[in-house]
Amino acid sequence: MSRTAHSLRVDLVTETWPPEINGVARTLEALASGLRRRGHRIGVVRPRPEGGGATGPDELLVPGMALPGYPGIRLGLPAGRALTRRWARSRPDAVYIATEGPLGHSALQRARRLGIPVVAGFHTNFDAYSGHYHLGLLRRPVEAYLRRFHNRATTTLVPSDEGRQRLEERGFQRLALLGRGVDTELFHPCRRSEALRAEWGAGPGTPVVLHVGRIAPEKNPEGLIEAFRAIHREVPGSRLVVVGDGPASGRLAAAVPELVLTGPRTGVDLACHYASGDLFVFPSKTETFGNVVTEAMASGLAVLAFDRAAAGRYIRDGFNGRLVQPTDDAGFTAAAAELAADVDALARLGREARRTAEGIGWEAVIAEFEERLRAVTTTEGRAA
């Protein structure tokens, strides 16, 4: 069998996996499913879910604990012995480590000891989170840990050119780009529901401001609050719908009496929520990518975001959305009010956003991921 036809055996190591709802879990599910469709053997190593078991035929569940502040997410504990036994029985061609916690660290150590190539994913800017939890003194130690972790991997995949450049400037090595895709069949403007909008208290002409994601300090809920207050002053009947939950939910609800907080949504239900909005406001400044941006674009929404990550890559300001520089909070608030008051602009930007999203498919991303994995299985691709 030729090298290009060779079926790979790959273990994904992660501390988050569906049915957990976050961008990392959904990205990994898409990558794993895509590789399996291409004939590769994909295993998953993850913490044992509370009250649950394996959901796939080739899963290793390891001990874990609830992540402080996020009881729905499990933090994997070190599992070096279990990994050694697993990889002695069935040695993978490569290991993909998506999270840098204790489980990921033990997987990195054992893989290197066994000479198994390691591809790491830089999915989350954990070092940037410290300032939002009054742990600013930990930012440099966390960054140093992440740098050591990723510099021991054969290669690290980063979802945007901007992110890769930022990491290179901070001393991260052997970085490569791997973007993200979006399911344009699931996320589609045709799923707009006037009945759902009526449940939100919105009529056909009522502007609905939508936000999807974890409601947490690092996601800049204050930016969302200020943006909607400006919108409400400009268009008094407007509604704010937030899909998700998190530790800052109470703060958001107290600040915005007009808030409709739906909790987490998935699948077609989530897609209907997206398509039933009018303006997607995304104030986060800590994203490595931000899958929700491309999902909103595919759903035909005008998107307002800061000029970074997915928004910076796919949005052209004034053509298929609005971009604001990350330092310009006042400009972000002003742009939100301006957009919400311009029905024609919302419709035009939403149409162009959908057209852009139609060119962002998962298949090209999965093919690139496959090639990155193949590359590290060669002698030339291995780290020294």
Query: Which has more confidence, 330 or 133?
Result: 330
Give tens-digit pLDDT for 117-168.
999 999 875 544 444 444 444 668 888 999 999 999 999 999 988 889 999 9
Residue 65 binned pLDDT confidence (cut-offs 50, 70, 90) = confident
Residue numbers of the domain that contains 260: 189-357
Residue 361's CB is within 10 A of a number of other CB atoms, namely 13
- 205 and 111 inside one domain: no
Give the dihedral sign, CA 334/340/341/343: positive
| Domains in the chain, number | 2
Residue 68: pLDDT over 80: no
Rg (CA), the chain: 21
Query: Which has more confidence, 258 or 93?
Result: 93
Q: How far is CA 99 from the centre of its chain?
A: 12
Paired sense of beta strands 118-121 and 155-158, if any: parallel
Which residues on neighbouring strands pair with residue 67, listed in sequence order? 70
The CATH number of residue 75's host domain is 3.40.50.2000
> For residues 253, 259, 265 and 270, what is the CA-based torsion angle, rounded to 10 degrees?
-150
What is the DSSP secondary structure assignment for residue 99, as one 8-state letter? -
- 337 and 260 inside one domain: yes
- 34 and 98 inside one domain: yes
Which residues on neighbouring strands pair with residue 210, listed in sequence order? 241, 280
Across all residues in the chain, what is the average pLDDT?
90
- 133 and 280 inside one domain: no
What is the DSSP secondary structure assignment for residue 322, as one 8-state letter? E
Q: What is the pTM of this model?
A: 0.88
- 168 and 284 inside one domain: no
- 48 and 127 inside one domain: yes
- 215 and 339 inside one domain: yes
- 239 and 348 inside one domain: yes
Residue 204 binned pLDDT confidence (cut-offs 50, 70, 90) = confident
> For residues 129, 135, 141 and 147, what is the CA-based torsion angle, rounded to 10 degrees?
0
- 14 and 43 inside one domain: yes
- 21 and 117 inside one domain: yes
Give tens-digit pLDDT for 216-228.
888 999 999 999 9
- 160 and 230 inside one domain: no
Paired sense of beta strands 94-97 and 9-13, if any: parallel
